[in-house]
Amino acid sequence: MRSHAHAEENPPAEVTPPVRPNAPWRVAHVEVLSGFRLHVRFKDGTEGTVELADFLNSASAGVFAPLRDENLFRQARVELGAVVWPDNLDLAPDAMHREIKEHGSWIVR
């Protein structure tokens, strides 16, 4: 029988493989633009804009409603291949990549 002390030697973080954001749809760079827009470039070189103004100003903005604050919106950054903001807000990089690859932009509604 294993002791409690032995279990503590192997915390879950040590057995979980690290995230490797190398998929082609992972974001490599983000630039914040005016009008609640972003310019993103992905690992595979695909790039385009993400337009969030209509979504953020809609009743369906939900947890993203705080991004209506331009100071908060401008804090967008890339983390582990995704666009993120404080308070654990992030955009799905695979959906963003698919729309930008097909249309050149992603207009979130």
Per-residue pLDDT reduced to its tens digit, 59-105? 999 999 999 999 999 999 999 999 999 999 999 999 999 999 999 99
**Domains held by the chain: number:** 1
In the predicted model, is pLDDT for residue 6 greater than 60? no
> Residue 12: helix, strand or coil by DSSP?
helix
CATH code where residue 66 lies: 3.30.2020.10
CA dihedral 97, 100, 101, 104 (to 10 degrees): -160
pLDDT at 3: 46
DSSP secondary structure letter of residue 17: P
Fill in the amino acid letter for 52: L
How far apart CA 83 and CA 70 sit, in angstroms, is 16
Name the residue with tokens 């609640």. 36
In the predicted model, is pLDDT for residue 13 greater than 60? no
Per-residue pLDDT reduced to its tens digit, 20-51? 668 999 999 999 999 999 999 999 999 999 99
| Dihedral sign computed on CA atoms, order 99, 104, 108, 109 | negative
Beta partners for residue 106, in sequence order: 50
Model-level pTM? 0.80
**51: containing domain:** 4-107
